[in-house]
Each structure stands twice: as C-alpha cells, then as structure tokens.
A = this chain, B = another copy of it.
Amino acid sequence: MLRRSNNTFTKLVRFKSDYLNPTIKQQLGSPAKVGSIIEARGFVKSIRTSKKVGFVDISDGSIHKNLNIVLQGSEQPKFKVGQSIIVKGEWCQGKGTQPFELKYNPKNPDHKITILGDVTEDYPLQKKSTSMPFLRTFPELKHRTNTLASFLRLRSHMEFKLMEFFQQQDFIKVTPPLITSSDCEGAGEVFSVHSASDKPNEKFFGKNAYLTVSTQLHLECLALALNRAWTLTPCFRAEQSNTTRHLSEFWMLEAEISHVDSVHQVTNFIEDMVRYVTQSLMDSSSESSVNNISAGDGNDYLNGSYIDKELVKERWAKMLTPDRWPRMTYTDAVSLLNKTLPENEQLQWGDSLQLKHERMLAENSPIFITDYPSAQKPFYMIKSANFDPEKPTVACFDLLVPEFGELAGGSLREHDYEVLKKNLEDHQMDMQDMDWYLNLRRQGTVPHGGFGLGFERMITFLAGYDNVRDVSAFPRAPDLCNC
C-alpha cells in the first residue's frame, strides 16, 4: 500500500535555501569584504551620540565583543539600551580598537535599521546602577549582561574541553539515573519524587523514589562494564545551606576507573584533567581566554565588571605550577596545621578539616589531602594501603584549591564482597536496597576508583568569581526556584 503511493511524494515541498542568520562572533571572525552591505543583529548595549556622528554598540552574546555601529550624519535614529535591532549598512575597517565596524547612513537607500524588540522605560539592564543582587531579581534578563553571559560561554567551553579530554583518555560518557531508589552517601538529605496520581500504597515507581545526590554507585556499575566511564550530570541535595558554595541542584562531573590500585592513579588523572581545561583557557587563541572572560574594554555595562582579571590570572597560574601539585595525608596535614594554629585551635586526629584549614593547606597551589579517617567517610571506601588500626583511614582524597577549599573528592572503592557487606551492615544500610551494588563484588569484581567534582565550583573558581549561584543559569536553593 505504501510503496504504491511513492509517486505522490514527488510533489512535496523541498528544501529551500534558508540558513541561519550569522552571529556577531561569525561576522567578526570571518569578516565580510570591506565595502559590502551586510546585516547585523543584536541588542543595543551602549549609545554615544554627537551632532554629526553617533556610536551604538550591539551584542548578541555569541562572543564577549560588541559590534560597533557608526551612525553617519545629523539625522540619527534614536535607540534605547536593550532594544534588539537589525542594522543593514556598510562593513568598514574600524577606526578604534575594533578591526571592523558597520556604518549606517540614513540617506543611503540600501541601508536600513529595524527595531525588532523595543524595551520599556524601566528596562533594568542600564549601563549604570546595576549590582549582582539587583540582577538576580531578573532571572529572565540577567544573562544579557556581559558577566553572566561570560560565565555561560566559559561553562560551554569547559564542557567541550572535558569531553575532548575524556574522549582522548578512552572513557565512555554515560548517563546514570537521576531518579533512584538507592541513597548513595547513606547520609545526604534527599529530595523525594512523586507523581500527582501517587497514593500512599500506589506509588508511581512502585516504591519510594529520590533524586540522586551522586551517581557514583550506578557509575561504578557502568565502569565495571566499560572499563572507564564518566558523566556530567545534575545532582541534588536537599540541604538547608544558604552559602556561596552550595546549590540544591548542581552538575557533577564523576568518573570511575577500573583496574586502579592506588589512590594516586586517580589523583594523577584528575590533576591532568583540570590542567588540560585550565591550559586551554590560557591559550590565547581560546575563545574563553583571560581577555575574553569579560569584555573589559570599557563597554561592559555592568557598571564595574564582576570579574577581577588579576584574580583570574593568579588562579590560573596557581593551577599550572611546573611541578605536580602536592599530595599529603590527612595525618600529616593535621600535624602541619597544628604547627601554625594557635593553642586553642589545635586539631585532634580525627577532627574534620574546616574551610579555613583547607584554605591554609591550599594557599599556594591546589593540594590533594589523602587518607582521611574512616569515620569521616562513606561505607564504600577501601581502607588505606598503610592502614593503621589505631588510626583507621581510607584510601581517599580531597582536592583543595586556593581560596575555595574542596573542588573534588574521590577514593578507591571497596571491591571485596565480604568487606563491603560488613561495611554496609556497620553503617546500618538497607541490605535489600543495596543488593545490586553488592552483587557487583560477587560477580567478577575489579579493583576500581573514581571521583566527583562540582562543576559549578570549577567554573566559579576559574572565572575568578566567588559565588556558585551566579554561574548556574537558574540557581536552585532553599526558597529559590523563581521560574
């Protein structure tokens, strides 16, 4: 029946040559022939007028740079900051710092201005009098500012570089589930998931379901099938934390690696990874290099940029030390800290390291602190290679970075069935829920290890910024879910 109707399909509307209109990044990167008539599209970012000439800078967010429009003659059209416009004019060599500019002459019949979208009188993103707390009240418009668009471009670039790195390292990118019936850490405060049709005895999934706090357990399962697996995926924590370092919804980079016996196989890998991404930013041809994080050419209409370029450079330089970053055990770190801490702040072995301790340890470069006390860590970590029953520790690490503290954490995972079973019992975990995880150790177990890294923290750190909530496009936190 179907094949017989083939002829009728020849009457179909076929492809027309409609392509996407170019971005400003493309227009600046592959410039048209000087003297040709082109159309440029963007938002009005700033306006300077005089009697005989006007200057309007437009941006479309595809790149940190603005395109400069020169309005010729005295009969200049009026613009407002924030309007979206199309300017048809002559592509010219630039006179200022920009290599090119677009000239609009109202008397030339080939030139044209189109206002696509006007703004109201109270349009909030004016050149002056904006602040980050003020911007946060406009979640739908704030990304049109240079700083916040820069964070988004930086994130995109970093994700691409991470993808490239893991691809080169022979990892398979996977997507563990976000809705889960297992609680990874056995501790974290979790969100539960319900369908509107749920009744007490009729649950959508047939059991309690939660949003994952870490995909690690499922990722281990996949790494034990694929040798090396990684993911960059949302995770959720229902903690009542109103800090600049926590989000209720965040993206976590997690990797699990089979056939790993030493925690330093993992620390070496993660160091290589972070250096790879940071080095790509240092590369001057990179779209997200230090000069490109923010326009920083005076046109940034965030009345004073939120990005401190000197701090950015300093942070990047600290990541790219000629030597490998230092490694130090928790036990040594406590001894070292006690040498500088005042009498009344001395640490006892077993105490948790606080943010201020982490900052002390990571003052001059990132540092890996390894082999924390078992009591501080989850059930799935394997005991340290040089295990001391008097001071029991596990083969784990935290990666601490300057100013920020913890950026990533990882460990070797317990791969012995009997030991893991006992750990689960000791931690009073639900054995039935964890049977699938335990089973990975009963059937062809493999020594393995991995890590998790908070992606917004990494972006915030490398952007020279201090608050993860502004590098998340739509941050979620207690009482914050505004659209």
Contacts and interface: CB of A to CB of B under 8 A. Distances in A.
A117 to B, nearest CB: 3
A327 interface: yes
A132 interface: no
A268 B143 contact: no
Contacts of A23: 170, 227-228
A192 B194 contact: yes
A209 B155 CA distance: 26
A174 B152 contact: yes
Interface stretch (A12-20, A99-107, A276-284, A294-302): A12-20
Nearest to A193: B191
A426 interface: no
Interface string A150-191: 001101100110010001011011111111111000000111
Interface in A1-51: 1-6, 8-9, 11-16, 18-21, 23-26, 41, 43
Given A5-B339, A23-B227, A474-B218, A329 B13 contact: yes
Interface in A345-367: 360, 363-364, 367
Interface in A69-120: 82-84, 116-120
A206 interface: yes
Contacts of A204: 191, 238, 248, 478-479
A117 B445 contact: yes
A415 B84 CA distance: 12
A384 interface: no
B144 A446 contact: no
**Size category of the binding interface on chain A:** 35 or more
A25 B227 CA distance: 10
Interface string A417-459: 0000000000000000000110111111111000000000000
B340 A473 contact: no
A83 B192 CA distance: 37
A195 B206 contact: no
B176 A444 contact: no
A476 B62 contact: no
A464 interface: no
A316 B12 CA distance: 22
A335 to B, nearest CB: 9
26 contacts: A2-B340, A2-B363, A5-B340, A9-B364, A14-B324, A14-B326, A14-B327, A15-B268, A15-B324, A18-B262, A20-B259, A43-B444, A60-B227, A84-B444, A84-B446, A140-B437, A140-B439, A149-B225, A163-B163, A175-B251, A177-B473, A191-B193, A205-B478, A218-B473, A436-B482, A437-B483
